[in-house]
Amino acid sequence: MTAELFLGGWDLGGWDRVLLPGLTAALVSFVLILWNQWRTRRRKHAAFWYAINAELKFSAGLAESVFAEPVIEAPLYRLPRSAFETCYPQLLADGALSAAENRALMTFFNEVETLNRGLDLVADTSDPVERNQQHRRNCLKAERLAPDGALYKEAAAAIAKHIK
């Protein structure tokens, strides 16, 4: 009966009883494997977005403390980048970022890196004039990274599109 429906009444000598169930099983298996991979990738991407979001918020809070009172020109902490460095390349490789999201995240976390270098420079210098100049540059960078700064707002908006 099944051979008549699919093959228009051709007699395959019994091959239809072997071939059709095998092809059906292969097709169902293929679809289930693809569905499982899609679901796994979606979960992994969600975890990456949440990790980057947590690091973004934490970094913004630390950046805000750079120019807060009392002034500590060379704090011991540095802003984190580990979640970004781990998750971003994988999101980029999977094509999970638009050009605007890519630009916003790269700009924010590159500024985090430059602020960290600036904090290192302040810590390494003993000249008070040079230390003060570098601290002022660091304050400008930190203002852009703070929760009300332009770079933070762009990066947070890019991440918000992916977090439910």
Residue 2 within any structural domain of the chain? no
Residue 43 within any structural domain of the chain? yes
Domain range enclosing 75: 39-160
Report long-range pairs for 111-114 (Cβ below 8 Å, ≥24 apart). 111/141, 111/144, 111/145, 111/151, 112/59, 112/63, 112/79, 112/80, 112/81, 112/84, 112/145, 113/81, 114/141
Residue indicated by tokens 């693809």: 34
Structural domain count of the chain: 1
- Whether the pLDDT of residue 7 is over 60: the answer is no
* pTM greater than the 0.85 cutoff: no
Band of residue 130 on the pLDDT scale cut at 50, 70, 90: very high
Residue 86 within any structural domain of the chain? yes
Query: Mean pLDDT, the chain, as a whole number?
Result: 88
Residue 70 within any structural domain of the chain? yes
- The tokens for 50 are 């949440």
pLDDT in tens, 48-71: 999 999 999 999 998 888 777 677
Residue 33 within any structural domain of the chain? no
Residue 98 within any structural domain of the chain? yes
CA-to-CA distance for 89 and 105, rounded, in angstroms? 12
Calculate ∠ Cα 120-126-129, nearest 5°.
95
Residue 28 within any structural domain of the chain? no
pLDDT at 149: 94
Q: Give the amino acid at 56.
A: L
